[in-house]
Amino acid sequence: MSNYNSILIAVDFSEASEQVISRGLLTASQNHASTFLVHVVEHLPPIDFGYEPLSSPDWYNNEEEIIKHAEKNIIALAKKHAIPVSHARVLSGSPKHEIIQFAKDNNIDLIVIGSHGRHGLQRLLGSTAYPVLHNASCDALAVRIKE
């Protein structure tokens, strides 16, 4: 059994991301692995303007703006944690699909991802960790978020 070579840390920019990054970086250091930091901007559901023309905020359908904002965030996060900026990426689409595809394309052998609790809002929001684990072709470390 050999060390991991390339670790992908998936973050959602919540406070919990710090816990996921810390565990990912410690694991990378223990394995002498390179690290990628990835955030996925989810596609937004279309708004029915005929039905509710006044309630959609300006930025809502401007995916370009959202991605730009996310790119600023991921670069700041990478710098804060001494991850090379070239390894900080924003993807867009389904988090599960994008994370799994990125892992394949970049020969990732470990995905580190936050796993939310069973109760309250975090459960309602769902967890990306679950489908990633089930479908990834590499190992996956689910970091239990301390609530």
Residue 30 Cβ vs its own copies, minimum distance, rounded to whole Å: 4
In the bound state with its own copies, the residue whose beta carbon lies nearer, of 30 and 101, is: 30
- Cα–Cα distance between 131 and 22 in angstroms, integer? 22
In the bound state with its own copies, the residue whose beta carbon lies nearer, of 75 and 133, is: 133
Q: Categorise residue 32: left if φ over 0, alpha if ψ from -120 to 50, beta otherwise.
A: left
Nearest alpha carbon to residue 95 among 67, 46, 132, 60: 132
Residue 88 Cβ vs its own copies, minimum distance, rounded to whole Å: 19
Residue 112 Cβ vs its own copies, minimum distance, rounded to whole Å: 10
- Cα–Cα distance between 93 and 81 in angstroms, integer? 25
- Cα–Cα distance between 104 and 106 in angstroms, integer? 6
Nearest alpha carbon to residue 5 among 106, 113, 146: 106
Q: Which residues bind its own copies (CB under 8 A)?
A: 1, 3, 19, 22-23, 25-26, 30-31, 115, 118, 127, 129-130, 133-144
In the bound state with its own copies, the residue whose beta carbon lies nearer, of 67 and 138, is: 138
In the bound state with its own copies, the residue whose beta carbon lies nearer, of 39 and 116, is: 116
